[in-house]
Amino acid sequence: MPNSMAAAPATCGHAGGMGHRNLRFAAVMGLHTFISAGTYLLGKTAADAIPTLALGLLRFLIAGAGFLILARLRHLELWAVARTEWRTYLWAGFLGVTLNQLAFLGGLSFTLPSHAALLYALTPTVVLLLAWARGQERPGPRKLGGLALAFSGVLVLFSGKAGGVLPPRWLLGDLLVLVAVIAWAGYTVMSRPLVQKHGAQRATTLSILFGLAMFAPLGALGLPKLAVATVPPMAWVGLVYLGLMTSVVSYLLWFHALSTKEPSRVAIATNGQPVATAILAWIFYGQAITPVFAVGAVLVLGGVLLTQL
């Protein structure tokens, strides 16, 4: 009897700790989702007005400076880690910055923000397959069911999108965004061991800096095409948003989540992005939310919830 009485508080404490961690994870991914939704809307204004290569370079110059300042304030040692694991961070930077951004920003300039958001909802599927192939995860029935439910919601959203008039090269844009999704999924899977070993901020900073070093020569080729005087103010706002909110705050939230949960669960939590994008588009641009969208949103959020239980 004394043993069972003593065990009860420990069980309750463990359950309370798990509940607190799950609540924190939900808050982190909720904030990440809405920042990412803003990326599609504000990033579109920048991608339409600034050449892709120049936009990517300027974005990650801002992000790199931000991460270096944060690392200096926290007295983080970077270069010793960079020297010993430069090959791994080189791959992470290539996938997460160079390839991802070339494809994403190029695709966003050819397609609609709603298309990009919906395609990024495929990320959990790719992440789960890659993590499964690497032996990082063994998905159970509940996770697979939640993934299928959320993906069915994405299909409903895609079939019922209003989206406005499609740009002439929307198919090329969608294909480029799909490449960006695959690159981001690979980046997510290979980054978790780095986060667990070196911490979220150090791993993010080194990935960004290695990616910037590879992207810079390409980005410089786009600078002569940048007509500064013709870029509207909202495009500059979009650039700053991409550099600070998306590439610093959002990346840190993503890596923090990866330090606490397996890659597929983190990725599945982002399936709310199409919903958040539509809500922000409704608030700021007056785009209607249709009944089909409401059904798809319920399926997406239900699938996300199922995977987190």
15 by Cβ neighbours in 10 Å (0-12 / 13-18 / 19+) ranks as: exposed
Residues 289 and 281: their CA atoms lie apart, in Å, by: 9
75 three-state secondary structure = coil
Domain spans in the chain, listed from the N-terminal domain onward: 35-139+165-261
The dihedral over CA atoms of 200, 218, 48, 158, expressed in degrees to the nearest 10, equals -60
50 three-state secondary structure = coil
Q: pLDDT digit string (tens) for 214-226?
A: 999 999 999 999 9
Q: What is the value of pTM for the model shown?
A: 0.74
- Using 50, 70 and 90 to split pLDDT, how confident is the model at 18? low
Contact 79, 206 (CB under 8 A): no
Q: pLDDT digit string (tens) for 183-219?
A: 999 998 888 888 888 988 899 899 999 999 999 999 9
Say whether pLDDT at 30 is over 60.
yes
- pLDDT value at position 237? 95
Q: How far apart are the first and last CA of the chain?
A: 32
Return the percentage of the chain with pLDDT > 90, whole number.
31
Lowest mean pLDDT: which of 13-17, 51-55, 112-116, 299-303?
A: 13-17
- Using 50, 70 and 90 to split pLDDT, how confident is the model at 1? very low
Say whether pLDDT at 103 is over 90.
yes
230 by Cβ neighbours in 10 Å (0-12 / 13-18 / 19+) ranks as: exposed
